[in-house]
Structure 1
Amino acid sequence: MRYIFMRTNLLKLFVLIFLLPASYLYAYETEKPPRDRFVVVLDAGHGGKDPGNRGNGFKEKEIALNIVLQVGKALEKRGDIEVIYTRKSDVFIELKQRAKIANDANADLFVSVHLNAHNSQAYGTETFVLGLHKSQENFEVAKKENSVIFLEEDYEITYGGFDPNSPESYIGMALMQEEYLNQSILLADFIQKNFTHKLKRKNRGVKQAGFLVLKNAVMPSVLIETGFLTNNHEGPYLNSRKGQDNLSNAIVDAIIKYAENINLNTLESISDREFGIAESSDYYEGITFKVQLAAGSTKLETKPYNFKGFRNVTREKEDRLYKYYYGDTSSYMRIQELHREAKEKGYPSSFIVAFKDDKKITVNEALKSEVN
């Protein structure tokens, strides 16, 4: 009898122990925040000992922070977007640390907010994605933003000898973030259209330039120049409550539109869309870019069935190897698109090659050539 009683109590205890964790687990699961939130990292340019641009008595670091905090506050009201800031106060954050914050958060988007300045009465908004600048004007903007590294300790080591004032330092950036270029352009396009159509700001366009803060971020990334502090009319607007409200609302709307389109996957292929990159030109005089798909000792017919459906494949013999190329263009942006297409359709090891006067040269040499 005693044995049966003990068995009964042990059984009850076992059932209790078994059920309790389940109930606790259920309670925990119901209280966990959703995992599928869209993560946006907002980066207010400059800060602390780095005031950024100045004009008409206004400081870039202060206005950029005001806009970012307003953007973040609006996005945080939505339950489906998580906001992370690189700074929320007047502190100095190194460029590499800004990108690290975004990478550590596994963010879906990196948005850096800045304000422009010029020795003329230039005005208007422009949004940059990472790439090789095609004009001296874009180079000057990138130089100015990248020169903040001179305020950092051991910047020569941290950035591998990168010199913001040397055009050669920017060559390699043309190959960085290639995977995210189209998404970055998509967001930049949304932002510029909002500035232009909703706020009636002058549209200086979507542009490419070599910004260090974008280079190290492994996600779609943009750098927004919201206007010129040095312009006698635009400067006061940027410093006003109304101006900052308008600009932040336009950025919020663009981010939400981007997130919804990406999450719902309702857009046609981004690479097929036209965004109108505002560059003086993207064509390199006397240069031909191609994508090398494969190489081997076997001579293949350049028919689509031999190359995963690709048409217009060309074959050239180099020493004992036959090399097979896709594309033929002087536009570096266009060859980047073709390269992405090749990788997506089954040629992950493909790469871009360059020719000048039918002689193969390195891509870096080609990118140093004059642009039409």
Structure 2
Amino acid sequence: MKRILAIFGIICLTLFFPMEGVSQQKVRKVVIDAGHGGKDPGAVGKYSKEKDIALSIALKTGNYIQKNLPDVEVIYTRKTDVFVELHNRARIANDNEADLFISIHCNANNSSKPYGTETYVMGLHKSQANLEVAKLENAAILKEEDYSDMYDGFDPSRDEDYITLTLFQNAHLESSLILASTVQDQFRERAGLKDRGVWQAGFWVLYKTAMPGILVETGFLSNANDEKYLRSDDGQSYIASAIYRAFKEYKLMIEDPGNRATMAIDQQPIVKDEIVFRVQFASSSKEKSLNKFKEIDDVRVYRHNGTYKYTSGNLTSFSEAIKLQNKIRGLKKYSDAFIVAFENEERIDVDEARELTGQ
């Protein structure tokens, strides 16, 4: 599939070496983190708040685990509508020496079009859309007193702060990716939800937890259908059941060395490929030298339907692509320049690209 990048190196390491030294590991403690709470509502839909839906799904998920896996201790970062600082969420997981951390959230976007589920692991964002999701969830920091001192000057609103944050090398990345992929499989195959894939971004709470961890975006409160589903008891139960089933599969893989290699191959942990926008300004039946377009920066060529087509830019922001389009149209001979979109270097519909990136 064009959107999937199999992380081959991770699979090889998993096959030939004990994954993160877990040959004798048992999954006995899981921390379930309901995002936001109290004075921090999180994303706000027309009829609901993220903090309420996340808590309900978190409690249902924990109940499934406790009922069906009695050997697992479930620890919650909150069980009521209270505000819990991000650093305390991480501390709860670390102090309890948890084996896994699952943070449950709801997404939102300025557009009402995006819908579906995403699961994140700690890592470097590949697009502005990924960064914006991390900013949205990390913004809870700003509601804390003396947050600058507590978080070593990290400001969740500053793009540049995420560069430093994501330089952190997550020692549990492969385990986190496998769990994230399993969650998305369950959402798609068992719950029938739109799978928007596995992503990486700089979430502070994942950065500070000393165990494999994921952050699950269960749907968009900015989308009417998603919000209706997320507000319903059935919808919340389906989502919680999917997360539980993914946890159960992950636990089986970790605890049974015989399953580990097989499941690692089956899961193929994935990360969504970057979607970019470019401005197409010329085409020809025969390939031309890029030097012919000296007045335009960052020129690329691709072949589509037997024709050579020339583009400028490689942008993750659609609004920036519009600016570039207008600039190129200002050159009279390129007045019909237009925006095109690519995913994994394959051209896709611009509307699809905007929907996938929430723009």
Q: Which has the higher contact order (CA 8 A, sep 6+)?
A: 2
Is there any run of 5+ residues in structure 1 with no aligned partner, and where?
Answer: 1-34, 283-370
Match of 2:209 in 1: 217
Number of equivalent positions: 250
Matched AA of 1:262: I
- Check conservation: 2:178, 2:268, Cα contact below 8 A: no
1: distance between equivalents of 2:225 and 2:163?
A: 36
Matched, 1:277 2:271: yes
In structure 2, do the counterparts of structure 1 residues 68 and 168 end up closer, same or farther at CA, with 3 Å as the change threshold?
A: same
- Check conservation: 2:116, 2:194, Cα contact below 8 A: yes
Matched, 1:140 2:121: no
Match of 1:21 in 2: none
1: distance between equivalents of 2:27 and 2:114?
A: 39
Matched AA of 2:122: L
Matched, 1:112 2:103: yes
Give the deviation of 1:189 after TM superposition: 0.3
- Check conservation: 1:177, 1:218, Cα contact below 8 A: no
Match of 2:33 in 1: 43
1: distance between equivalents of 2:27 and 2:127?
A: 38
Deviations 1:169-201 (A, max 9, x none): 112333435210000000000000000111221
Deviations 1:311-337 (A, max 9, x none): xxxxxxxxxxxxxxxxxxxxxxxxxxx
1:205 aligned to which of 185, 190, 197: 197
Matched, 1:159 2:141: no
- Check conservation: 1:40, 1:108, Cα contact below 8 A: yes
Map 1:343-354 to 2 at 5 A.
none
- Give the TM-score of the pair, scaled to structure 2: 0.67
Match of 2:179 in 1: 187
1:126 aligned to which of 108, 115, 118: 118
Give the deviation of 1:64 after TM superposition: 0.4
For the aligned residue pairs, the C-alpha RMSD in angstroms reads 2.1
- Check conservation: 1:146, 1:212, Cα contact below 8 A: yes
1:72 aligned to which of 32, 37, 62: 62
2: distance between equivalents of 1:177 and 1:73?
A: 33
Match of 1:196 in 2: 188
Deviations 1:199-224 (A, max 9, x none): 22111100000001111001000000
**The 10-residue stretch of structure 1 (91-100 or 175-184) with the greater mean CA deviation from structure 2:** 175-184
- Check conservation: 1:182, 1:271, Cα contact below 8 A: no
Give the deviation of 1:274 after TM superposition: 2.8
2:260 aligned to which of 267, 274, 278: 267
- Check conservation: 2:26, 2:255, Cα contact below 8 A: no
Matched AA of 1:111: I
Secondary structure of the 2:270 match is: coil
2: distance between equivalents of 1:36 and 1:180?
A: 15
2: distance between equivalents of 1:37 and 1:262?
A: 7
- Check conservation: 1:182, 1:270, Cα contact below 8 A: no
Give the deviation of 1:270 after TM superposition: 8.2
In structure 2, do the counterparts of structure 1 residues 71 and 169 end up closer, same or farther at CA, with 3 Å as the change threshold?
A: same
Matched, 1:56 2:70: no
Map 1:20-35 to 2 at 5 A.
none
Secondary structure of the 1:52 match is: coil
Match of 1:90 in 2: 81
Q: Based on CA coordinates, which of the two structures has the bigger radius of gyration?
A: 1
Secondary structure of the 1:233 match is: helix
1:229 aligned to which of 212, 221, 233: 221
- Give the TM-score of the pair, scaled to structure 1: 0.64
2: distance between equivalents of 1:37 and 1:250?
A: 18
Give identity over the alignment, percent.
48
2: distance between equivalents of 1:252 and 1:208?
A: 22
Matched AA of 2:249: K
Is there any run of 5+ residues in structure 2 with no aligned partner, and where?
Answer: 1-24, 277-343, 346-359
Matched AA of 1:108: D
